[in-house]
Amino acid sequence: MRNSLKGILALAAAATLALTGCSTSTGGDGGDSGGSPDEPFRVVAFTSGNQTPIGAWWVKAVEAQADELGWELTMIQGDFDFQKMNPAVESAIGQGADAVYNGYTDVASISSIVTAANDAGIPMFAIDAGTEPTAAYALNITTDQQGIVDQTLGAISDAIGGLEGKNIMVIGHDPHAGIRMRASLAAEEIEAAGATLAGGEIQQVVSPATGRTEALALVADYLTANPGGLDAVWVGWDDAALGAVQAISEAGADAVVTGVDATSEAIAAILDGGPFLATVEQPWPSINDSVIDALVEYQNSGSMPGSNFEAVDTTLVTVDNAADITPSDKLG
């Protein structure tokens, strides 16, 4: 991705001074929206979640695709530090860009970047960067949160003989837009089905970095206070779900657990036949390809997508198909 740095040294320097973890590359000729046929199409890409397996995969995937397409790419990696990331992205936009690509960063956290893009008159495209349509994006493609809830709660219902009268814990993390939305939907459906929400409300994990140990403690404490009083644990992502699985196993309880993300550990736990009942595969490679296609269309013709938001279907991963699923942390 660093075949040539000619023409973007100033941009790269600005981004590097603002934030470590930035990489820049220059390719060949760009399209009509790149300024002229002899100039590359300039894209500022950024993600706050590059330390997660999916975020790290996205960085590499976009860098490789930009190289193939001949884009001049500035990739800014935020490490969940918005005070550093946002100014770095704004600086890169100010140095000159034709489009912005947001990877996995909720629109609520990047208002200053949205303003910078609007002031520069350039569109922002996104992958999994919010759960509802917003004028901030020319296009945001994410996954169907209601579909994820329907799949996972359906699996739980089948495993425990229906939801009515059961005690089900929901574990979420509100700062993440997708987890916040699907956890809320899950809690609503659990109570609407006549089940009891264990603990009386959604149990919140404070930090994704400690999600597994926090979830383990939440479930272990509940089981200590309510021996045999838990039928299932619905968790918004796999790492925390693995903590719930550990707590249930150590307590010798019969509860089942579902997660979301289809990580290697989750798939292995499902195949082991323990409490981990199911997870969800989200098709990030095909989603990323669709966003890149929209960027190319804008580069070539200046045309915008017909809709600025799309939520795509997911795949429920159970013991029946887990061996055929590529884990999300092994995408590349």
In 161-279, alpha helices (H): 177-192, 211-225, 238-251, 264-272
To the nearest 5 percent, what fractions of the chain are helix, strand and coil?
A: 45, 20, 35
How many angstroms separate the CA atoms of 38 and 34, rounded?
A: 9
Do strands 99-103 and 42-47 pair parallel, antiparallel, or not at all (unpaired)?
A: parallel
Average of per-residue pLDDT across 152-176: 97
Confidence of residue 208 (pLDDT cuts 50, 70, 90): confident
Check whether 174 has a pLDDT greater than 50.
yes
Confidence of residue 52 (pLDDT cuts 50, 70, 90): confident
Model pLDDT, residue 28: 34
Model pLDDT, residue 80: 84
Query: Quick check: 223 and 247 in contact, CB under 8 A?
Result: yes
How many angstroms separate the CA atoms of 170 and 191, rounded?
A: 11
**DSSP string of 94-149, one letter each residue:** HT--SEEEEES--GGG-HHHHHHHHHHT--EEEES--SS--TT-SEEEEE-HHHHH
R_g (Cα) of the chain, nearest Å: 21
Distances (CA, A) of 28 to 35, 43, 61, 288, 301: 13, 13, 18, 22, 18
Tally Cβ neighbours within 10 Å of residue 29.
12
Confidence of residue 106 (pLDDT cuts 50, 70, 90): very high
Q: Does domain 9-122 have CATH number 3.30.70.100?
A: no
Average of per-residue pLDDT across 186-200: 98
Residues of the chain above pLDDT 70, percent: 89
Q: What is the pLDDT of residues 267-307, one digit of tens each?
A: 999 999 999 999 999 999 999 999 999 999 999 999 999 99
How many angstroms separate the CA atoms of 138 and 147, rounded?
A: 24
User: Who wins on pLDDT, 43 or 29?
Assistant: 43
Check whether 131 has a pLDDT greater than 80.
yes
Check whether 14 has a pLDDT greater than 80.
no
- By C-alpha distance, which of 257, 265, 259 is closest to 282? 259
Average of per-residue pLDDT across 146-172: 98
Check whether 151 has a pLDDT greater than 80.
yes
Query: Quick check: 166 and 213 in contact, CB under 8 A?
Result: no
- By C-alpha distance, which of 275, 230, 280 is closest to 259? 280
How many angstroms separate the CA atoms of 125 and 136, rounded?
A: 9
**For the chain, what's the residue count?**
332
Query: Quick check: 222 and 253 in contact, CB under 8 A?
Result: no
Tally Cβ neighbours within 10 Å of residue 265.
19
Model pLDDT, residue 38: 73
User: Who wins on pLDDT, 167 or 50?
Assistant: 167
Model pLDDT, residue 15: 37
Q: What is the pLDDT of residues 111-124, one digit of tens each?
A: 999 999 999 999 99
Structure pTM?
A: 0.86
Residues of the chain above pLDDT 90, percent: 84
Tally Cβ neighbours within 10 Å of residue 250.
12
Model pLDDT, residue 245: 98
Give the three-state DSSP class for 41: coil
Model pLDDT, residue 37: 65
Query: Quick check: 102 and 125 in contact, CB under 8 A?
Result: yes
User: Who wins on pLDDT, 48 or 31?
Assistant: 48
Check whether 58 has a pLDDT greater than 90.
yes
Check whether 213 has a pLDDT greater than 50.
yes
End-to-end CA distance of the chain: 16
Architecture (CATH level 2) of domain 145-282+318-330: 3-Layer(aba) Sandwich (3.40)
Domain ranges in the chain with CATH number 3.40.50.2300 = 9-122, 145-282+318-330
How many angstroms separate the CA atoms of 282 and 120, rounded?
A: 33
Q: What is the pLDDT of residues 244-261, one digit of tens each?
A: 999 999 999 999 999 999
User: Who wins on pLDDT, 50 or 181?
Assistant: 181
Average of per-residue pLDDT across 297-319: 98
Q: What average pLDDT does the structure give for the chain?
A: 90
Check whether 9 has a pLDDT greater than 60.
no
How many angstroms separate the CA atoms of 291 and 297, rounded?
A: 10
